[in-house]
């Protein structure tokens, strides 16, 4: 065995494998990434990452969503530091909680109140529980393959999950109103709610925007039955529309779940709801040791104000579109057929016919070597720190990626 | 209606009631506290709190556990700031993860590996799921009345909870080996594990230390059946013994859940386990958007090193004992009978015969007015920032509290 350089990615991985099952839990485990991707990071700033081996890349994953203004954003970090100098986790919240809650209620039209948590899973679980408490019913409709969190009722793994954990879930197909109707019929009088992601962003398949028809139909079946429409906006929230990701479709949920981008990387989640669900939200016991921590709230207040001030979603859309347009030109130049799906702020590019992901992996590995951190099969994320020069530099790296794909298929 | 002073506790509460169900979620809602307790806090330092109305109190709740070295501990905050200047939530962890995991595995004898999360509930839920995955069985034994978190399988509220959420739980009585045996018999071949708190610290009752007999018996029934012994050390962890709260009893669990004190107020949780459960911990999908955040890990590393360096548990025990001794003398001086229960680091004092909590509430309200933040019916928490002078000052406040109780009962 060759000696590993202390502090190198390889050395840290070897040590991690000893003391962490599989080397790392969950979605950030680099074993699931194309060859050459780093596991450990030394530094991040704006849209740039530096891994522990000293390689700098332009970041198109943004920590898988949380970084929406850019790493170490000056305004957010100043707000966080100022609050940290006063106090963080105390015997109750700081005044910033009220400011943040008022801002969110003003920003999100369907919201009359909010609750906070730490994980996206906290938010989706609380919304489902509130829907059941408010309606006195049990059945929750979920789209086949949608990700709503990492606990037994919704985890993509079934290890340790019992049948009862999912006893009251009924599946339907995303964007399929007939399928939704069948699920509603199956739930019958026990229909408590629908939980649905802002668009179809399932792992390892092309993305699909929600159709207005589907969203309106979901709203309508909830209206006629008294069930709760729960928008799982954990992944897309604050990137598509600051009023909620279905606002452009003209559809407002009863409850919505937020996390990821809400505080530019500080740990926070939020559940937002309308008046009809306030009493149930009081009855459901949802809490955690750090849920009144003031620093992430101060970071969230600064993040949301800044996103509003600069129209963050439009800025990310424009830069995402610039990336997408550039990728389309490069793909054509290399005679490679690609699919580009999802909203421009959260784009995904796959290669047509790439059933074993070899082309996507080859593209990403080579682009990484040339300085762009892409993902072959999970939606990517733009941030407001991505400027035109960053997109253009990433396209140079992408060009090397397309050339590598071309070489690999001979 | 009188005008409320902007920024006052009363004004903030009035605004909070509009935008947060019940004014605040969960355990930090001041509506559940004695009269006069503040809801909103302006500042905290060491063992001192300042509420938004400018009152300073000596803090015996320590944010309900998280603050173990004292608010804004210089060493912890310096480590957190240094990491924040490099990066926090990135596309993977920073090297500090490996250092923290190695320290925990070295510090906790039963642990061969760790996983991290954000909430105590993340840790207890993951441990239960890992126990089921490892054993291929479903039944989890829980002590009647024990708190293990705030999601449907374990929440103290049943609002929105379905019968299926708790279908595979079997209850026993804490410290009662016969009752445990009956639960084991009921589980039969489907016995996956026992989850048990470090001592009996149920809300609104006197505390009870775990007996060595009970702990050893729990270990033994797991050994003979292959079930997992899960220690829920979320509340007591790192205050009783840095090696695990049952280490003084000579009993080591298979899995343990940590959170609260692990990072002196920064949001972090941990699951620790032995070799036999490593593969199951790899199979169970447990993750969150901020679980690789490097700042709370840096804070945890500094916290645990500092607790070890200064023998934090012994320091908290000594100061807790000083408080307890002083309270006993004062109670006798006022001819009031009290029960003092639990470990000295996490003490609880109740009044004998105080069935409606009037005496406890009167005591706490008056002590608060004199500068000590106690709790009448939830265990309190010492931190390493409490010195002799702080305890003695708190006892002066307590004396006023006892006098108020005496007056109230005529």
Q: What is the pLDDT of residue A1?
A: 53
Mean pLDDT of B214-220: 98
The mean pLDDT of B357-375, rounded to a whole number, is 98
| CA A220 – CA A239 distance, rounded (Å) | 26
Q: Does residue A259 lie in a domain region?
A: yes
Do residue B61 and residue A91 have CB atoms under 8 angstroms apart? yes
Asked, for residue A396, whether it belongs to a domain, the answer is yes
Contact between B338 and B327 (Cβ < 8 Å): yes
Residues A215 and A113 in one domain: yes
pLDDT per position as a tens digit, B5-37: 999 999 999 999 999 999 999 999 999 999 999
ipTM over 0.85: yes
C-beta atoms of B95 and A129 within 8 A: no
> With contacts defined as CB-CB under 8 Å, which chain B residues touch A152?
125, 129
Which chain B residues touch A122 with a CB distance below 8 Å? 119
**With b meaning 16 or more CB within 10 Å and e meaning fewer, what string describes A127-155?**
bbbbbbbbbebbbbbbbeebbbbbbbbbb
Q: Is residue B123 included in any domain, yes or no?
A: yes
Residues B141 and B275 in one domain: yes
B249 Cα to chain A: minimum distance (Å): 26
**Contact (Cβ atoms closer than 8 angstroms) between residue B225 and residue B231:** no
Residue A187 lies in a domain: yes
* B207 and B100 within one domain: yes
**Is B278 a residue whose pLDDT tops 80?**
yes
User: Does pLDDT of B1 surpass 70?
Assistant: no
Q: Does B142 have pLDDT greater than 90?
A: yes
CATH number where B253 lies: 3.40.640.10
Q: Check whether residue A99 and residue A16 sit in a common domain.
A: no
pLDDT of residue B20: 98
- Which residue on chain B is closest to A381 by alpha carbon? B91
* Closest A-chain CA to B60: A91
Query: What's the pLDDT at A45?
Result: 98
Contact yes or no for A291 and B72 at CB 8 A: no
Q: Using CB atoms, which residue from B138, B156, B279 is nearest to A162?
A: B138
To the nearest 10 degrees (0 to 180), the angle between helices B96-107 and A9-19 is 30
A166, A226: one domain: yes
- Which residues on A lie below 8 Å from B105 (Cβ)? 18-19
Q: How many domains does chain A divide into?
A: 2
Verify whether the Cβ–Cβ distance A90 to B296 is below 8 Å: no
**Average pLDDT along chain B:** 98
Q: What is the pLDDT of residue B148?
A: 98
User: Which chain A residues are within 8 Å of B27, Cβ to Cβ?
Assistant: 287
Residue B112 is part of which domain span? Answer: 95-292
Picking from A20, A88, A130, the nearest residue to B101 by CB comes out as: A20
Q: Which chain B residues contact residue A99 at CB under 8 A?
A: none
Q: Which residues of chain A have pLDDT under 50?
A: none
- Residue B358 or A3, more confident: B358
Query: What is the token pair recorded at A404?
Result: 């590598």
Token pair belonging to A179? 């399928």
A348 in a structural domain:
yes
Do both A157 and A196 map to the same domain?
yes
Answer whether residue A83 is part of any domain.
no
Pairing of strands A48-51, A41-45: antiparallel
Residue B168 to residue A164, Cβ atoms within 8 A = yes
Yes or no, beta carbons of B132 and A102 under 8 Å apart: no
In a domain, B88, yes or no: no
Q: Could you report the per-residue pLDDT of B49-70, keeping only the tens digit for each?
A: 999 999 999 999 999 999 999 9
CATH number at residue B67: 3.90.1150.10
Residues of B in contact with A5 (CB under 8 A): none
In a domain, A65, yes or no: yes
**Cβ atoms < 10 Å from Cβ of B250:** 10
Do A25 and A111 lie in one domain? The reply is: no
Domain end (from A260, A292, A324): A292
Given A259, A292, A325, which residue is the final one in a domain? A292
For residues A282 and A320, state if they share a domain: no
**Do both B383 and B253 map to the same domain?**
no
List of chain A residues whose C-beta atoms are within 8 Å of the C-beta of residue B157:
283-285
Q: Are residues B143 and B252 in the same domain?
A: yes
- Are B59 and B106 in the same domain? no
Closest CA of chain B from A404, distance in Å: 24
- Tell if the CB–CB gap between B28 and A287 is shorter than 8 Å: yes
CB contact under 8 A, A259 and B289: yes
CA-CA distances (angstroms) from residue B400 to A266, B33, B360, B368?
A: 42, 18, 13, 9
Q: Are residues A132 and A233 in the same domain?
A: yes
């Amino acid at each position: 065995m060759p000696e590993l350089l202390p502090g190198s990615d390889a050395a840290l991985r070897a040590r991690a494998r000893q003391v962490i099952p599989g080397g790392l839990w969950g979605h950030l485990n680099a074993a699931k990434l194309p060859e050459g991707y780093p596991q450990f990071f030394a530094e991040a700033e704006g849209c740039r990452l530096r891994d522990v081996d000293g390689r700098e890349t332009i970041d198109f994953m943004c920590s898988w969503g949380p970084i929406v203004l850019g790493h170490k954003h000056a305004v957010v970090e100043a707000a966080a530091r100022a609050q940290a100098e006063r106090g963080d986790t105390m015997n109750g919240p700081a005044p910033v909680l009220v400011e943040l809650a008022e801002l969110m209620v003003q920003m999100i039209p369907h919201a009359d109140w909010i609750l906070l948590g730490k994980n996206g899973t906290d938010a989706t679980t609380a919304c489902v529980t509130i829907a059941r408490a408010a309606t006195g019913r049990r059945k929750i409709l979920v789209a086949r393959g949608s990700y709503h969190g990492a606990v037994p009722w919704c985890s993509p793994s079934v290890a340790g999950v019992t049948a009862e954990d999912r006893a009251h879930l009924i599946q339907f197909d995303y964007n399929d109103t007939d399928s939704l109707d069948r699920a509603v019929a199956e739930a019958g009088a026990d229909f408590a709610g629908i939980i649905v992601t802002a668009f179809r962003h399932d792992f390892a398949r092309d993305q699909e925007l929600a159709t207005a028809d589907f969203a309106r139909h979901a709203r309508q079946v909830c209206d006629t039955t008294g069930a709760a429409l729960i928008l799982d906006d954990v992944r897309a929230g604050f990137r598509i529309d600051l009023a909620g990701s279905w606002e452009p479709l003209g559809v407002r949920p009863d409850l919505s779940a937020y996390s990821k981008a809400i505080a530019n990387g500080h740990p926070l989640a939020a559940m937002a709801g309308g008046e009809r669900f306030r009493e149930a939200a009081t009855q459901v016991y949802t809490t955690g040791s750090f849920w009144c921590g003031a620093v992430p709230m101060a970071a969230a207040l600064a993040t949301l104000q800044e996103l509003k001030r600069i129209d963050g979603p439009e800025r990310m859309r424009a830069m995402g579109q610039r990336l997408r347009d550039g990728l389309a030109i490069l793909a054509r130049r290399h005679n490679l057929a690609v699919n580009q799906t999802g909203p421009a702020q959260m784009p995904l590019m796959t290669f047509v016919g790439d059933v074993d992901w070899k082309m996507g992996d080859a593209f990403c590995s080579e682009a990484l070597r040339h300085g762009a951190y892409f993902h072959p099969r999970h939606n990517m994320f733009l941030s407001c720190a991505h400027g035109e020069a960053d997109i253009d530099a990433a396209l140079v790296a992408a060009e090397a990626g397309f050339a590598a794909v071309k070489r690999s298929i001979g």
